Each structure stands twice: as structure tokens, then as C-alpha cells.
Structure 1
Amino acid sequence: MKRVLAIVSALATTTLFSPFSAAQAEGEFEQCKTRLSAQAKNEGVSDKVVDDAFASIAFQPRVIELDRSQPEFVTTFPSYYSKRVTDWRVSKGRELLSEHRELLNELEKQYGIPPHYLVAFWGLETNYGGYKGKMPVLSSLATLACDKRRSTYFTQELMTALKLMERESLSADAMVGSWAGAMGHTQFMPSAYFKYATDGDDNGQVNLWDSEADALTSAANFLANLGWEPGFRWGREVALPDNFDYRLSGYKQRRPVNEWADKNVTLPSGSTLPDSDIDAYIVVPAGHAGPAFLAYQNFRVIMRWNNSEFYAIAVGELASQISGSSGLAQALPDLPTYSRDDIMQMQKKLNQKGFDVGKPDGILGPATRAGIREYQLANSLIGDGFPSLEVMKSLDVKLQADANS
């Protein structure tokens, strides 16, 4: 109890909302549990399942702490990619591709998802089941449901998790996962689990923790429903011409592959792009010094699983390497590590100079990248929209790393 109150009290001193005061935390959570329990029964969950589940549900202060936390540093693409697309993960992925070949081939026939992509998602989500999370899912969801910041969403996820317990005969103790409630080999939220999870081993139960067949089949069903286009790849690495106009990068600038070829975009080897009229767009995640990618519609499907270009590139490249690709042709650049304060300083400087990037928040979103690009073009710099050291120096940003060195 003392630990709960201490953490809640600390959170309450921040500018972020916390509904639990130090004096009322336990009481308010218990009152919220009572309301949630009644709602679950009203939604048709049996009294026994509800009573058994809520007997073990407890407030998780760590969940609130994680929900409120902001990363101190901005993750760069080289850092993100190098930690996820590793030699071990490629090797293990090839091993599992062979081990599950019969099932994966059947899934491709049924859902249209190539085997190496399913294995890549598995690798990115839980390291092939090596780490599925250890937080009590029901308690985590209840804690977030009782927090006003995203109460509606997490209340519905909790209700769905309780219905899953009943439908699949799952025990509360077995339902462990991420702090936000994602579960199993494929880290499905309860809503995705309830709607898309599929019995891959035909034992009458869908168990994403214990059954690899269930997890892989569910991933295939999920991706098919997200709009995966069978017969098409995720994208590919490309080489851009020296005079490439980086204002042509990004999703809003998508156009047929043939048009990119006309603009002298090539394969990394210098060979001409395939003759194709499918739409694609350029992604430059690490600035002009790093690799560039041509992203197809399935890239957007991957982003519907996890709305991050970094994630989508990692899934696509891991899948490609599992199926035999040798990896990136362009080496990852050695980029500085920026703090959120560094980025906020840069955003303030850009705003002051008339390059509107919106309210400084330390996040490298589309508006910030557009502002950087316009500043670069106005100052005879390569307009890739990337906050290089050259940009920081030009704007006279005092980097936190420099101050601490």
C-alpha cells in the first residue's frame, strides 16, 4: 500500500493527469473495479468468470508510470534497426521458417501471406516467443480503464479480455503480456485477439501464448483482414540520384514505380527498377546519408499493425533476409543521439526563423521534418528533412550531449 501511494503521489506532481490522489488511490480503484465488474456482467460475461477475474485484479502503479513516461532520447533509425534486424534474428527466423514450413505454406494458400513475413512479425513482436511479457493483463487493463486519460478504450479492451477468458477457457494467471495488455506470441490486444485469432492446431481453443500454430494462423488472418495484397512485396531498398529532390519523399508523393525510374531512382546496384505501374513512395529514415526505400501498399499494411515506418522497414527487411537477401546495400550512418530537449530547441529555433513546425514537443513528426526541409533548402543544405548535426549547428542548438560531455 505504501508503494502504491508513493508512486501515485509522485505521478500527481507532474503536469500529466492522474486520477488517483495519494489519499484516495486504493479506494477509488476499488470503486472503479466494482463499476467495471457490474459492466462486464451487464455485457453478458458470466458471474463466475467476472468474480474469479476480479478477485485477482489489482492496481498496477507501474502501468500508470509507463503510460505517462516519455523517452528521454529520440530513437534514430540506425539505432532502432540495428537492435531488431540482427544476425541472430535472421538465423533463427530461417530455422523456424524451415521448422514450420508445412503450416506456413498452408497459411499462404489460405490467406495470401508469404511465410517469411509471418516469421518476421513473430521475430519483431516477441523474439520468436522468447519474451511475451510478464505483466498481469487483466490488472493492467483495469488500471488503465480506471485512468481517465484513455478510459473508454481500455474499458472496452478489458471487457473484451473477459469475454475471451470465457470463450477460450483461459485463466487469469495465464493471461500475461505487455503493460498495455498485448498478449501472446504475436502481441495481440484483446480486441484483435477476439476478432482475428484463429485455432491453428484444431484443438478447439485459441491460445496465443502456448500454441505457435494458433499464433501464426492468427497473424495471417489479421494481416489478410488489414488488406495485405498477395503477390506483392513490402517494398525494396533503392538508390537515389545525387540531385534527388527530397520534397518528393513521403506518402503524399506516391506515384507509379515507372515514374520513379524516370526520375533516375534505381536498384542499389544501379540497375533499372522493375517495369511496374503500381504506386510506391520514397522513405528516407536516416537522411540522405542513409539507405532509401521504395514502399508499396503492403508497407502501409504493416503500419496498420504498428504505425511506425521504422517498424515497417524492420519487418520488411527481416522478412527479406530470412528468405535469403543479404541485407542493406547502403551502410547505416553513424548518427548523433538527440535528447527530446535537443529536438525541442531545434523546433523553437525553426519557429523563430519563420519555419512553422507547430508547438515544440520533441517529436520528429511530419510538420517538423517539413520545417527542417524548408530551412535546409533556404540555407543551401541538402533538403532531406533530417536533423543532422549540420542543421543543429546552423541553428545554434546547444546539444544536451555536448553539455554533459
Structure 2
Amino acid sequence: MGLPERAMTNRAGAILIAAALVCSSQAVFVSPSQAQSSDNGISNFLGNIFQGPKSGPAPQTAPGPDGGPPPWSGEDGASGHPLMTASAIREAAANFQNCVAAMWPDAARRNITQANFERFTAGLAPDLRIMDLMDSQPEFTKAIWDYLDILVNDNRLAKGREILAKYKPQFDAVEKAYGVDRYAIASIWGIESNYSTQMGDRNVVQSTATLACVGRRQAYFKDEFLTALEILNRGDLRPEQMRGSWAGAFGPTQFMPTAFKRYAVDADGDGRRDVVDNAADLIASTANNLKKDGWQTGRTWGYEVVLPEGFNFMLADKAKAMTIAQWQSQGMKRADGKPFPDMTEKAYLLAPAGAQGPGFLMLQNFRVIMKYNPAEAYALAIGHFADRLRGGPAFVQPWPRQERVLSRAERLELQQLLAQRGFYKGTPDGQFGGQTREALRSFQASIGAPADGFASSDVLERLRGR
């Protein structure tokens, strides 16, 4: 989830999980529309924790006077960005109508008619509650095993099998046309929106217009706003269909407007690309997205593996891909005891729970899923859910469920202690990413512990010198 702009904002993500996700060394950090980040490398864009909807809940505030959603808190954003101060937000909100009107020339260059521009922007007002959602910094995170338990469950598996049976002709056609596994598509559908039951209820045009004119991601969201208008202008979707997350993702598989523009297809030839209510278009568009991102037909996403005693966890790095044969020479075996089908495939090792939990060799299709939503926890959930829909078993090895998740204050302290010892070079912010993980590994190696980058309470105590 630093991510390039395109990867950061492809999805606003799963209503049940929040979008973009960042899997830290121990906890799962979720951001509804883009993986936000950590170590100041990815802009802290949406939330950082999995706790319900992908449009990421913000700090608790009282409901509005009419019992509706709570209003904007009126407070500075936690990111500290100058455009997220309360005064800057109020100033931008006061100029909202002028900001929207000023985008008409850009809309005209996209062949949006003036009548439609005026129609679709009439009466728009900024939804400032989004500012709290953008900058929320929850105190606690979910451990990856809790995250997987929530997303890959019996109820969702049963519904997924119903969907696969109900739309079998559409899945058959898409597998033939795109070569993308139906179970992966069904998995994304299930995890992003719980099979169309939780797609978000915010007006996409209002949300993207707000973000285009207020806050710290205006340049990016200007493109999303104008693209949303293009979709309506072309007639692919009706305004009432474009409801989604606060960051602008909509539909059962959560397309951002620009992702829709790149990947949506008219599978049934009715002249509209309807990824909200038309199953054929939805399934084909999601498959087209995966295919264009490099999906390999007939290949899996990865393998659960057993790591040998004394394994060098410095090799657990996506930049250190090796062939399956090379991994096997390191003592790696599949957890189910089966042989690897292709020893020439290149994979990298993911050990999301460190030395105490299972390992996974990740292949090209795992990387493709991460392009869809750039978080390892998300991609692991998608791959595993797809396997379960196919009839596969649960993971073989146990998770270290006895470990507790560090609070934000403890995560911040851990980074500060790593910095004091010269291991961490970033600005401590309580959010874990690759830079924190590498610093933690270096510290663990220096004390002779497994350098797995896992942020346990024990390693925090070691840093404290107790």
C-alpha cells in the first residue's frame, strides 16, 4: 500500500473491511480507499484499522441532530497536514461552490455536456464528515488472524457458493474470455461488499467533489470527481446507482471512478457498463481488471509453507523473490504435504505473524490481487477465501492467538525506541510499514532473536531494556 498514486487509490475497498489495507508486522491497518500508511511512505489517507466498514470508521462522535450520520468534528486532522487544519477545512468548504464551478472547463474537455454538468452538480454541498474519516487514527488494530476470521467465515462461504451457482453462465463466459479464476472474482465480490449487501451509502459525486475541493488529496480526487461525471454523462450508471464509500468506491466489487473507466466492460451488449446491478458486467469488469493487471491463467496465488528450524527471516521480503526450487533448498515445504507443482515459479515469502505463525510463498497472482487493493492482509484473505470456495481446507498451521495487539501508544513507543537505538530513520507516528519492519528486524538480529519483524509485546519489552 510509498505506493504509486495509481496503486494507492484503485479501490475504496470492502465495506466490511475498509479499502486499502496495510498489514503491519503484527496488526492489520485498513484504509477504505487506499492503503494509507505508515512510515510516512503512503499518505495516511483513509483509516488505519480494520473495524467494520471499508469506508473506515472515524473517531466516535455523537449522531447528528436528526439521528443521521454525525457531523464533522470541527477539529484538526490527525495527519498534521496544513490542508487538514480546522481553519483550512472551513475556508475550503466556504469556497466549495466556486471550486466545483471552476472544474467546468476540465469537464468540457472530457466531453461532458454543460447541461449534465449542471444537472449532476446542482445542490452539491461538501460532506465535511469525510475529513474525520480521512484522518482517523484508531487506538487499536486487528491482528491478522482476527481479520481473516471475520472475512473468511461459513456464512460468507455459503453465500459465495450460491452466487457461483446462480451466475454460473456468466462465470463460465468470463473464465473463457479472460482466463481469470471464477473463485477469485467471487472472493473479491464477497469480501468487498458481502455480496452486494454492504456497498456504502454515500453519494459518490458528493464525496469525490468534497475531496476534490477540501483536504489534502485534492489533485487526485479532482480526477475521480470528473471521471464520476463522465460515467453519468455517458449513461453507464444512473445517479442513484453511484453510492458507495466515503472515498468514492462503488458497486459490489468497489470500483473507484477511474478504475471503472479503465476496466469496466459491457459484457451483455446492452450499451451500458453497469457494474452495480448487472451481474454479467460486474463479473467481466472485475475479471478484466485482474487480467490487465497480469493475472496468470491456471495458476494459484501462493502456498502455505512450513518454515524450517533456524530459518533466516531476513529472506521474508517481497524484494527477495526466488524460485520454488530455491525455497525448497532452504528447507521449505508445503504445509499440506503436497509437492510443489512447478519448481520454476518465482515467489516471495510472507510471514505475517513472524516465527510463531504460518509462512506463505506468494506468486504472481498474489501480486495482482495486491494491485486491486494494495495490502498483504487483504490479498491473503482474497486468496484463501477463493481456495475455500473451491473446496479447499482452512490453513493448516495455527496463528499465535496468545499474542495481543499493541496499542497505538505502544506502537509509537516502539518506533521511538528503535529510533533512539539508531535502527529507525523515519518519523515515529504509531503506524507500521516496511521501514518499521526493517528496523525491527535489525534490532532482533542484534540481540540474537529471530529477525521476523513481528511487533510483539515481548520485543517491546526487550527494547525497553527490561
Length-normalised TM-score, structure 1: 0.92
CA contact (8 A) 1:142 1:154 kept: yes
Alpha-carbon displacement from aligned partner over 1:247-280 (angstroms, at most 9, x marks no partner)? 1111111100011111110011345433411100
Structure 2 gap segments, 5+ residues each: 1-63
1:36 Cα deviation from its structure 2 partner: 2.2
| Aligned with 1:39 (options 75, 87, 106) | 106
| Aligned with 2:411 (options 324, 343, 351) | 343
In the other structure, the counterpart of 1:11 is: 76
CA contact (8 A) 1:261 1:273 kept: no
1:127 Cα deviation from its structure 2 partner: 0.8
CA contact (8 A) 2:186 2:386 kept: yes
Residue correspondence of structure 1 range 6-405 to structure 2 within 5 A: 7=72, 9-11=74-76, 15-16=80-81, 17-18=83-84, 21=87, 24=91, 26-168=93-235, 170-334=237-401, 335-396=403-464
CA contact (8 A) 1:175 1:183 kept: yes
Cα distance in 1 for residues equivalent to 2:140 and 2:451: 24
What is the identity, as a one-letter code, of the residue corresponding to 1:128?
Y
Cα distance in 2 for residues equivalent to 1:261 and 1:382: 20
Q: Helix, strand or coil for the counterpart of 1:173?
A: helix
Q: Helix, strand or coil for the counterpart of 2:102?
A: helix
Cα distance in 1 for residues equivalent to 2:314 and 2:214: 41
CA contact (8 A) 2:72 2:130 kept: no
What is the identity, as a one-letter code, of the residue corresponding to 1:61?
L
Cα distance in 1 for residues equivalent to 2:421 and 2:228: 50
1:333 Cα deviation from its structure 2 partner: 1.9
Structure 1 gap segments, 5+ residues each: 399-405
Cα distance, 1:148–1:214 mapped onto 2, change above 3 Å: same
What is the identity, as a one-letter code, of the residue corresponding to 2:227?
T
CA contact (8 A) 1:347 1:357 kept: no
Who wins on radius of gyration, i.e. which is larger? 1
CA contact (8 A) 1:8 1:20 kept: no
RMSD: 2.3
Q: Helix, strand or coil for the counterpart of 1:252?
A: coil
Alpha-carbon displacement from aligned partner over 1:199-242 (angstroms, at most 9, x marks no partner)? 22332211122112211110011111111111211111111111
CA contact (8 A) 1:185 1:212 kept: no
Alpha-carbon displacement from aligned partner over 1:295-323 (angstroms, at most 9, x marks no partner)? 00111111001110001100000000000
Cα distance, 1:32–1:55 mapped onto 2, change above 3 Å: same
Cα distance, 1:12–1:316 mapped onto 2, change above 3 Å: closer
